[in-house]
Amino acid sequence: MTKKSILYIITKSVWGGAAKYVYDLSTNLPGDFDVSIAAGEKDKLYEKAKKANIPYYQISNFQRTINPLKDIFAFFEILSLLFQLKPDVIHVNSSKAGGIVGVAGWCYRIFSNKKIKLIFTAHGWAINEDRSKNQIKLIKFFSKITSIFYDKIICVSEYDRQIAIKNKIACEKKLITIHNGIDIKNINFLSKEEAQNKLINKTSPLVIGTIAEWTKNKGLKYLLKAIKRIKNKRIDVILIGSGENPDKEKMYELTERHKNIHLIEFIPNAVKYIKAFDIFVLPSIKEGLPYTILEAVSAEIPVIATNVGGIPEILSSNLIQSKNSRILAEKITELIDDINNDPEKIKRTIQENRNKVEQEFNLEKMIKKTKNLYY
């Protein structure tokens, strides 16, 4: 039987949730698929693909911001690549790529007369972002146009599927929920002391931390404001960046006079350091279904997160309203008290969360459900 060929396309090659998703799929599919990746630039995803011997193609005109001329050039680059590779499945993984590749895929389907599948994964709809009403209307319009080109649209959370149905982004039969999944048994965490020493050159009695791209959507400024409200001055805060970190300068400005706040722009395989944290906090304004929460739960760390996107599908406790530093400070203080005075309660919550992730958010299940769409 001839192998099916799959081309994964993503706008940027920087390491983040969408890039991890592409890498996990492309390295874990059974041997009856030929897999390749196309993306803009050659960053962390390129390096990982190269090590895994996965063919990688650079779309030189791909960029996150809108640039009509470069977008047209990117369209022709993609169309040329499709005629070169002749894929059976095109699986797209970012909003910007979604529109350009959708049009290119349809043109290729028509001119090549080849039966192909076009699949798009929505890693959290942009209409959930903190934007003006006019911007949301425009994003919604383009999301609806983009969805026309695809045979199936994967939503990484049931929340996102319901949002797409409610806003009529696509017809219901096109939409399917497939949660992100991780392989708990193959994550090698450093010990708490080793991780702290490697990150901040000391051990600390209490560390609050997160791994997130330094961007508005992650709501990190609310975490920083919450920390200032907490009177315990022995707290260390570690913020590990991922992706491009576009708000890098703002983060340094906000933290320049705070010796207990440690900014680390990027470290490879950051998940292995996650046990450095006594409490993991993700104060996002908008989310799809974040890998970092799955990883923190797997590391058996208490988690506080905002009640946005697919997060409530993972966690049943310690969920708070977004964009509220006062409530976040209160929840952190409450959790610190529980860690000190009711450790059994913390253990029960951690075990419940870990069991749920192991059963419902495992990599094997994600691979199996996604693979079924390729046939």
- Kindly report the number of other CB atoms within 10 A of residue 286's CB atom: 21
169 and 310, same domain (yes or no): no
119 and 234, same domain (yes or no): no
222 and 163, same domain (yes or no): no
179 and 192, same domain (yes or no): no
Domain CATH number, residue 71: 3.40.50.2000
Q: Domains in the chain: how many in total?
A: 2
213 and 318, same domain (yes or no): yes
Range of the domain at 351: 184-360
104 and 171, same domain (yes or no): yes
189 and 138, same domain (yes or no): no
pLDDT tens digit at each of 375 positions of the chain: 578 999 999 999 999 999 999 999 999 987 879 999 999 989 999 999 999 999 999 999 998 777 889 999 999 999 999 999 999 999 999 888 999 999 999 999 999 999 999 999 999 999 999 899 999 999 999 999 999 999 999 999 999 999 999 999 999 999 999 999 999 989 999 999 999 999 999 999 999 999 999 999 999 999 999 999 997 778 999 999 998 899 999 999 999 888 899 999 999 899 999 999 999 999 999 999 999 999 999 999 999 999 999 999 999 999 999 999 999 999 999 999 999 999 999 999 999 999 999 999 999 999 999 999 998
* Six token digits for residue 120: 């798009």
pLDDT at 94: 86
344 and 236, same domain (yes or no): yes
In Å, the largest CA–CA distance within the chain is: 68
pLDDT at 65: 76
201 and 341, same domain (yes or no): yes
249 and 162, same domain (yes or no): no
Name every residue whose Cβ is closer than 8 Å to that of residue 179 and which is 6 or more positions away in sequence.
Answer: 156, 157, 289, 310, 313, 360, 361, 365, 366
- The C-alpha atoms of residue 173 and residue 58 are separated, in whole angstroms, by 33
- Alpha carbon 15 to its chain centroid, in Å, reads 9
Long-range contacts, 333-336 (Cβ 8 Å, 24+): 333/230, 335/279, 335/302, 335/304, 336/206, 336/232, 336/279
Nearest to 25 by CA among 143, 119, 124: 119
- The C-alpha atoms of residue 301 and residue 293 are separated, in whole angstroms, by 10
Asked if 120 contacts 94 with a C-beta cutoff of 8 angstroms, the reply is no
- The C-alpha atoms of residue 251 and residue 248 are separated, in whole angstroms, by 5
